[in-house]
Amino acid sequence: MQTPKSFGALLAAGLGFSIVIQAMINMGVAVSLLPVTGMTLPLVSMGGSSLLFISIAIGIILSVSVENSRAMNLAAVKTDAASEGEVIK
């Protein structure tokens, strides 16, 4: 993921990594490769705390994505305007 600031990219990568690890552990337990850990399946758990964390994490990842799109569009507009000789603040 390309972002204008590295914090957003690192935040999205860390949250995505935690969701993937949680799913991989659950799959390992399901096929008896790992011992039973009590780790919940992302977005399917019966408890509310895991669902709340996953929902917040997905929201943050989407927010980073939207902010990245806005920054890329603004950079493209500034580049186009600069090539035409206009001044945009």
Question: What pLDDT, in 10s, does the model give residues 24-65?
Answer: 988 898 898 988 887 777 777 777 788 888 999 999 999 988
Position 86, amino acid: E
Torsion of CA 14, 20, 26, 32, to 10 degrees: -110
Give the pLDDT of residue 38: 79
Q: Could you tell me the CA-to-CA distances from 74 to 42, 81, 86, 87 in Å, in that order?
A: 35, 10, 14, 13
Query: Can you tell me the distance from the alpha carbon of 70 to that of 78, in angstroms, rounded to the nearest whole number?
Result: 12
